[in-house]
Amino acid sequence: MPAQPDQMTRDLVLALHETSAQGAFVVTGAGSRFISWLLGEPGSSATVLDAQIPYAEHALNEYVGRPAEQHVSEAEAIAMAEEAYWRALRLDALAHPGSIGERQIIGVACTATIATNRLKRGEHRTHMAVRSSAGTSTSAAWLEKGVRDRSDEEEIVSRALLNATAKTAGLEVELDLGLGVNDRYEPPHDVADNPLMKVINGDASYLLIAGEGSVTTEIAGSIAAVAGSFNPIHEGHRDLVQVAARITGKTAVFEISVTNVDKPQLSASQLDARIAQVRRQSPILITRAPTFEEKARLVPGTTFVIGYDTATRVVDDYYYAGTVEASLDVIRESDCNFLTAGRLDDGIFRSIDDLKIPPGYESLFTAIPENMFRFDGSSTELRAGRST
């Protein structure tokens, strides 16, 4: 088989570049020809945000974040695609801070062992995975040994990887892989939904993304939750997490609610994009609780870390079905409280001293000293200043 793409392959690559799909691509063992095809046709910048070939074992371990039990396996392909997906989301957020989560982002991975200059004991095979906001799909192929040289097996792997990518991007065209009767092929099929859909669909009240990236429903001990939309995140958010941990002695996390009193529910792609900005930096709590009263019921004992602007809404009747006092009673009964950062407003630094806190509830609010934290920017300003 030729190293250069035939016309059908070129046409499929060009069609892929015309779709809205953008992503990060990672291959090891085989699949480099697929990367070459993507980059060799006009419009590749519309599809490729990042492409990597971590060929050495330690390079692949570093990419995935941990050693694998078996590098050429479905599990490893899924792990590679997962990291590629989150990397692509971070890169997209950096490029488009004013519209994160509005593009179709994918992570594509391939791990393979094919013919080389020495005899291999095991099967010649490849495992591929594609991650999107909807979930993960995988495909695989086992090639009869001794029938083809490395170039021919590379061609099959690259064609299969292009087919898997094109399918996720919404294209129905498939390339013929040229398989023989003793080869085996598993076409792309879904293996997992986006785990965060459980919260989006209302099947789970909350999920915690741990510091290493795993998703769990277990929260060990009390937390300090920096609540926000993080659209986009800024240095103030990151600094606030560190300050909150020092002041409270609790595990500090970012908290994102998929529902909001003033805004539409977040989609899976929007939620993933916001998470990607801080994933593996700090734990992230995902809830369906738009108000602090609801958050307090979900996670008792939490210190909610908020800015002055948010604090003004906490004590505003407009944001509650009942009274402010009734909501603050729930928060106090749930052993929750607020740690509040000041904010520059019309040239004046505002703090909790400027809040209209109902009498008897002042102890629920603690100020973060200005000398410990002050950030005069905002996500709104960041979107406006960097999205052009």
Contact between residue 117 and residue 151 where contact means Cβ atoms under 8 Å apart: no
Do both 179 and 233 map to the same domain?
no
CA distance 171 to 11: 12
The residues pairing with 129 across neighbouring beta strands, listed in sequence order, are 109, 138
Domain of residue 283, CATH code: 3.40.50.620
Do both 185 and 309 map to the same domain?
no
pTM of the complete model: 0.89
Contact between residue 386 and residue 379 where contact means Cβ atoms under 8 Å apart: no
- 229 found inside a domain: yes
Residues contacting residue 218 through CB under 8 Å, at least 6 positions apart: 208
The residues pairing with 136 across neighbouring beta strands, listed in sequence order, are 131, 192
Handedness of CA 298, 302, 306, 308 (dihedral sign): positive
Residues contacting residue 95 through CB under 8 Å, at least 6 positions apart: none
Contact between residue 240 and residue 373 where contact means Cβ atoms under 8 Å apart: yes
Do both 91 and 150 map to the same domain?
yes
Do both 364 and 277 map to the same domain?
yes
Do both 261 and 344 map to the same domain?
yes
Q: What is the pLDDT of residue 388?
A: 32
Do both 209 and 180 map to the same domain?
no
Domain boundary among 134, 158, 193: 193
Domain of residue 166, CATH code: 3.90.950.20
Do both 225 and 88 map to the same domain?
no
Strands 303-307 and 223-227 turn out to be parallel
Q: What is the pLDDT of residue 379?
A: 54
Residues contacting residue 91 through CB under 8 Å, at least 6 positions apart: 24, 49, 50
Q: What is the pLDDT along the chain (388 residues), one digit of tens a residue?
A: 457 899 999 999 999 999 999 999 999 999 999 999 999 999 999 999 999 999 999 999 999 998 988 999 999 999 999 999 999 999 999 898 889 899 999 999 999 999 987 777 789 999 999 999 999 999 999 999 999 999 999 999 999 999 999 999 999 999 999 999 999 999 999 999 999 999 999 999 999 999 888 899 888 889 999 988 888 888 888 999 999 999 999 999 999 999 987 788 999 999 999 999 988 888 999 999 988 999 999 999 999 999 998 899 899 888 777 899 999 999 999 999 999 999 888 788 888 999 999 999 999 999 999 999 888 765 555 555 543 3
Alpha-carbon separation of residue 368 from 19, 49, 173, 343 (angstroms): 48, 39, 58, 11
- 281 found inside a domain: yes
- 1 found inside a domain: no
Q: What is the pLDDT of residue 261?
A: 76
Do both 145 and 257 map to the same domain?
no
Residue 171's domain spans which residues?
Answer: 7-193
- 2 found inside a domain: no
- 59 found inside a domain: yes
Q: What is the pLDDT of residue 233?
A: 86
Domain boundary among 193, 225, 245: 193
Do both 204 and 184 map to the same domain?
no
Do both 218 and 245 map to the same domain?
yes
Alpha-carbon separation of residue 237 from 187, 287, 312, 327 (angstroms): 43, 18, 18, 26
Domain boundary among 131, 161, 193: 193
Total number of domains constituting the chain? 2
Do both 157 and 293 map to the same domain?
no
Contact between residue 114 and residue 157 where contact means Cβ atoms under 8 Å apart: yes
- 337 found inside a domain: yes
- 350 found inside a domain: yes
- 314 found inside a domain: yes
Do both 220 and 95 map to the same domain?
no
